[in-house]
Amino acid sequence: MTVPSIADPVRSAALFERARAVTPGGVNSPVRAFNAVGGTPRFIRSAQGAWLTDVDGNEYVDLICSWGPMLLGHAHPEVQAAVLDAVRRGTSYGAPTEPEVELAEEIVARAPVERVRFVSSGTEATMSAIRLARGFTGRDVVVKFAGCYHGHVDSLLASAGSGLATFALPGTPGVPESSTALTLVLPYNDRTAVETAFAEHGDRIACLITEAAPGNMGVVPPEPGFNRFLAETCRAHGALFVSDEVMTGFRASRLGQWGLDGAVEGWRPDLMTFGKVMGGGFPAAAFGGRADVMSRLAPEGPVYQAGTLSGNPIATTAGLATLRLATDEVYAHVGAAADTVKTAASDELSKAGVAHVVQATGTMFSVFLTEGAVRDFDDAARTDQAAYAAFFHAMLDHKVYLPPSAFEAWFLSSAHDDRAVQTVLDALPHAARAAAQ
């Protein structure tokens, strides 16, 4: 029997009730609602370093890090100082600013892109990259993988049609069939499916978009050489290879997932999308790539794309400060802390007799409560969600805030020090036993 070491979330529950009266489901992004694990979502009052404090005064070690962005932990003093300084000069001008140029230069120096355009969310980044790919190639079909999430772009909220290389069905009400009729959804890590799709539709395919390493079905690393194979297949058919690094960018490693495969193997995507870490906790994202492709974008070229708050000076200042502070030492620390947590999680689950597999790419990892390796969405879907819910709540009761869904990456930061990691290690045996019941 687990003895909770935190106060009942009385104020969170009261706020949730008020929130539900004015906001669908009480939250502004679905997974925050705890629907997959049950219970009361915690309303957060403040955060510092590796710790979140909820409105009932409970403190939790944060293993979500705002779903990736907070690589340096919360309220990092230097990021905070840069942001406060920028705020004093005004918050949005609707005219170009120096931080935009500096952040673009920083990204171009780190990632294999020649030009970048800023937007305010990862969704906008992927939506715009696809429009640009279609505008550049004059083709209309987009290929994506089941289980890869690219934001809530209509044409990408698609589920696989029956059989390989058939066009997709809308994955949600509200998306008309015409919006997904040009989307092909394939199983991840499946070269034969990709070859078949390109053999049948190659001359109509504008681009293939993939998470550089999927994190949105839990972490499912690309099999060795898979991204290179995708890049080469696209090139052979005159399609663009769009690598979505919204989650992995400047997170999986200093150079993102590309630093773990493309940089080593010597290939580059045609277009990339970024978000999360590059916004330093503010709404900023970007897409970028080959100069000849990016120059098709307005005002240089004919493909329209715009945004009132794109390249916002506060967001770009936060992103710039974050990327400049994200040194090799930061990634080494996050990687080592992640290794400690994932090894301990696996050990405790083994001791408790819970089937599981831990999968990682760079500093990102997931714990799947299922047998055997997870290489695609069908494998991920076998995860024992009830066991995860029990695991999640036992961790929460022991001051650790995990993603409230079994299909997510766990994120650490450079602020996860020995005390924070030890809190996680102390919680894990309780959670593993809860998952076993």
User: Considering CB under 6 A, how many residues would be counted as binding ligand PLP?
Assistant: 15
| Piece in contact with ligand PLP (CB under 6 A), picked from 51-59, 115-123, 132-140, 319-327 | 115-123
- Residue 429 CB, shortest distance to ligand PLP, in Å, is 31
Looking at the Cβ atoms of 40 and 128, the one nearer to ligand PLP is 128
Does residue 247 belong to the site contacting ligand PLP (CB under 6 A)? yes
**CB 1, min distance to ligand PLP, A:** 36
Tokens, residue 52:
């979140």
Secondary structure of the chain as H, E, C letters? CCCCCCCCCHHHHHHHHHHHHHCHHHCCCHHHHCCCCCCCCCCEEEEEECEEEECCCCEEEECCHHHCCCCCCECCHHHHHHHHHHHHCCCCCCCCCHHHHHHHHHHHHHCCCCEEEEECCHHHHHHHHHHHHHHHHCCCEEEEECCCCCCCCHHHCEECCCCCCCECEECCCCCCHHHHCCEEEECCCCHHHHHHHHHHHHHHEEEEEEECCCCECECCCCCCCHHHHHHHHHHHCCCEEEEEECCCCCCCCCCCHHHCCHHHHCCCCCEEEECHHHHCCCCCEEEEECHHHHCCECCCCCECCCCCCCCCHHHHHHHHHHHHHCCHHHHHHHHHHHHHHHHHHHHHHHHCCCCCEEEEECCEEEEECCCCCCCCHHHHCCCCHHHHHHHHHHHHHCCEECCCCCCCCECCCCCCCHHHHHHHHHHHHHHHHHHHC
Q: Which is nearer to ligand PLP, 56 or 211 (CB)?
A: 211
Interacting residue with ligand PLP among 9, 41, 122, 289 (CB under 6 A): 122
Residues 6+ apart with CB under 8 A from 155: 130, 142, 179, 180, 182, 183
Q: Phi, psi (5° rounding) for residue 48?
A: -145, 125
Closer by beta carbon to ligand PLP, 251 or else 333: 251
User: Please, which residues have CB within 8 angstroms of residue 156's CB and are 6 or more apart in sequence?
Assistant: 126, 130, 142, 144, 150, 183, 209
Does the footprint of ligand PLP cover residue 275 (CB under 6 A)? yes
Which residue number, 246 or 321, has a Cβ lying nearer to ligand PLP?
246
Report the nearest approach of ligand PLP to the CB of residue 217 (Å). 11
Please say if 304 is a catalytic residue: no
Distance (Å, whole) CA 344 – CA 425: 7
CB of 149 to ligand PLP, least distance (A): 5
Q: Tell me the closest approach of the beta carbon of residue 405 to ligand PLP, in angstroms.
A: 12
Q: Within 283-342, which residues bind ligand PLP (CB under 6 A)?
A: 285
Task: Please tell me what DSSP assigns to residue 72.
Answer: T
Restricted to residues 127-186, the positions that interact with ligand PLP (CB under 6 A) are: 149-151
- Name which of 272 and 330 has its Cβ closer to ligand PLP: 272
Active-site residue, from 276, 331, 379, 384 = 276
| CB closer to ligand PLP, 84 vs 306 | 306
Between β-strands 44-48 and 51-54, what pairing exists: parallel, antiparallel or unpaired? antiparallel
Q: Which is nearer to ligand PLP, 56 or 408 (CB)?
A: 408
Of positions 40, 123, 155, 383, contacts ligand PLP by CB under 6 A: 123
Query: Closest-CB residue for ligand PLP?
Result: 122
Report yes or no: 296 and 302 within 8 Å, Cβ to Cβ. Answer: yes
The answer to whether residue 216 forms part of the interface with ligand PLP (CB under 6 A) is yes
Residue 304 Cβ vs ligand PLP, minimum distance, rounded to whole Å: 20
Active-site residue 276, yes or no?
Answer: yes
Alpha carbon distance 285, 124 (integer Å): 8
Catalytic one of 149, 331, 388, 401: 149
Segment contacting ligand PLP by CB under 6 A, of 3-11, 103-111, 122-130, 421-429 = 122-130
Smallest distance from ligand PLP to CB 44, Å? 18
Query: Within 48-77, which residues bind ligand PLP (CB under 6 A)?
Result: 67
Please identify which residue in 58, 126, 210, 370 interacts with ligand PLP, judged by CB under 6 A.
126
Per CB under 6 A, the list member of 246, 321, 367, 435 interacting with ligand PLP is 246
Stretch that binds ligand PLP, among 137-145, 176-184, 188-196, 241-249 (CB under 6 A): 241-249
Q: How far is the CB of 419 from ligand PLP (least distance, A)?
A: 29
Q: Which stretch binds ligand PLP (CB under 6 A): 30-38, 240-248, 383-391, 417-425?
A: 240-248
Min. distance of Cβ 249 from ligand PLP in angstroms?
9
Q: Which residues in this chain contact ligand PLP in the complex, by CB under 6 A? A: 67, 121-123, 126, 149-151, 211, 216, 244, 246-247, 275, 285
Give the residue numbers annotated as catalytic, written as ranges. Answer: 149, 244, 276
